[in-house]
Structure 1
């Protein structure tokens, strides 16, 4: 790696609908250095460059070393500690987003399988190097860091597909989910229904909803609502748009329904959110 210990934290979270990159870092740990037991409200992946340590998630304890990857999942208690004799050096990247679980599942990482081993050391280290370099930029920092995050997840997904050929069937199902997500992204401003989404990708509604929930953790209807409200939040920064115009722009003809959904997700009314942003 071409850099020393560092930590980067985004003051405003790097936001897209699919993924949000929160922070990243690199550390040469001292002997016995530990974190937890504690939990996060987002995903965090750590990659071990060298040395050893332990990772405890749920009832399982893993002894890890160079090339190992381990995942912290939202609201799950975890603990990790550097070895006393051969402490590890690791990098980490923290993120969340509506599609985070989908990408991680394709990488064969989950609450049930929080640990993996990656043989593509140079590719992963290049991704972390890109994050580090991007953190020093100004105007293009956000897009470059997100690009590095997508690259990082792509490496893990490609590695998983080589190790787990059976995952290719899952990826066919993921393709249906991606097509459903694409339909939502392209048509959220219209009065679309879940049946229309299912018809467009050629699946029965109930089966499509089952695949979608398994891949994203959300029902198609909940995903549509989350996406619309996220787009509404982006539009709030435009002072020339009224709340009613924003509601209509993201697919709500009924402003009262929009305000109800907005407050349910954001714990604030649209007007309160706009004033606090």
Structure 2
């Protein structure tokens, strides 16, 4: 019988909560309880500062991370104060799993709403707010491990590329989009995570080299491929949509009409 030598990845929830902050409400996080805390921003904006990192502006859809034994501070915006929920975790597995992701590189992640990691985080929080039963407790345990699985899978700890010349970063970005545009999960947020750069940096990189945004470049790849399919094949719209990175023909048709000025059927008939 095979002997499975599986490392102990014990992880468990210590506390959780939710808060709608007042304008300019400030929190100094001296995290001395040896817990790691995830904060997900539900609405509004604010700023976040952690050890060895500059202050950053974060908004709804972003997540920030307060590591154990580190001092962090965060403040709600004056005009649009944020609301967030948090989950505090402990256990050897928490620390090891987070280290395997790129979260410790900056202690925040931008626009995670469409990731499996966020879906699991939200499901976990919803379970925590329910009445505690054996079934619910088992689900909380299962979701806790799923959370770290998706964190490492969605945001792996790639080697830093900050010292890569901008021209090389641009070429890496172009190659990624050209090779993956047929995959519906290919998007600009994922590209930024792979490069370790912000969306604004990537935008300026594309504007300088292509005169269009990375989102428009991705759209162009998909639409020009769709045109070739419409002209040269008899594939139906559902098949073409899947071939060029869309989950359904309705979304594809709307995008094609915005791009080309006519519907796919009209284009094919010309």
- TM-score, structure 1 as length reference: 0.47
Structure 1 or 2, whichever has the larger Rg, is: 2
- TM-score, structure 2 as length reference: 0.48
